Structure 1
């Protein structure tokens, strides 16, 4: 029985991702999901209240896994190195996870759920706060900017790089993107104009 329920949930999620990509969230219905997953609507309702509940549960699973990957304890050297405020290996692991879940993440980023980016950005912000809190040397040097703007500058480049990578089809390797993110943390936008 448990195996059948797991299989049903997997089929529902696959159907949902497919329909998100082809129809968009607002145009798809529970009937569409059930038909695509080759289940009856009753089976869908055994697991989810509606399509929004399904979306929320999928997002929660993604954020939970990204949290495990990004907020894992790190070594002291990285905690005190500003260039490693978001450690390379944590970003790399998150990028591998993103690549495995490319279809779902791409569907979410194609405008089907703007809240997901906000939640992911909040997770990165939590990581930065955790690293600063655990460090004896690091602080957010705001360079005369209000704290919320300074944080946004720090987070936007990372989010922008990951989003562009996904929109391009995640064709580059996670290592390539992790290296780009590492370089972006070390140079200012002004330096790109020189």
Structure 2
């Protein structure tokens, strides 16, 4: 019962934050305003979070943990990318609210997420360097930036395209399917 109530309270806070972020900058949102919107008292907020920055960090970590849990290295990369995009689309309001607030560094978080995904693909960094035919550190940056830009643009323009369409776009620019096939042959 306590766990359910705790989950419900955190969800209420997340929903209130999402609504507020659609109209205000994160810096301008006070704990009072947030708790009023969530229908909880300040004491309840502080049972879960140290401050609003801790709350945001935890919410972002929860989101990216859920994204990582979707990823299954036994599945084809296509299925993993599509499942990730489906999650982003299903949670669009929160993702959009974070993305539109520059101080929350959404783009960096997306790049870090992609970087973590690459860690489960053997020799990914060397393979990326081979694709772009430039030194590995630069090739990795090109790879991360191009994928992050496409995902961010998709979110910023309303996530109108179907996740299947976006999966095709990401696979076309990233060559990830070829990378996965080659790494399984090694």
**Which of the five TM-score ranges fits, normalised by the shorter chain?**
0.7 to 0.9
Distance in 1 of aligned mates of 2:119 and 2:12: 38
Q: 2:92 aligns with which of 84, 102, 118?
A: 102
Distance in 1 of aligned mates of 2:119 and 2:130: 13
Partner of 2:65: 64
RMSD: 2.1
Structure 2 residues not aligned, in runs of 5+: 176-186
Distance in 2 of aligned mates of 1:175 and 1:31: 41
CA contact (8 A) 1:132 1:139 kept: no
Distance in 1 of aligned mates of 2:164 and 2:39: 38
Partner of 2:104: 113
Partner of 2:173: 184
Distance in 2 of aligned mates of 1:163 and 1:127: 17
- How many residues align? The count is 172
1:160 aligns to 2:160 (yes or no): no
- Taking structure 1 as the reference length, the TM-score comes to 0.80
CA contact (8 A) 2:128 2:140 kept: no
Deviation larger for 61-70 or 31-40:
61-70
Structure 1 residues not aligned, in runs of 5+: 79-86, 187-194
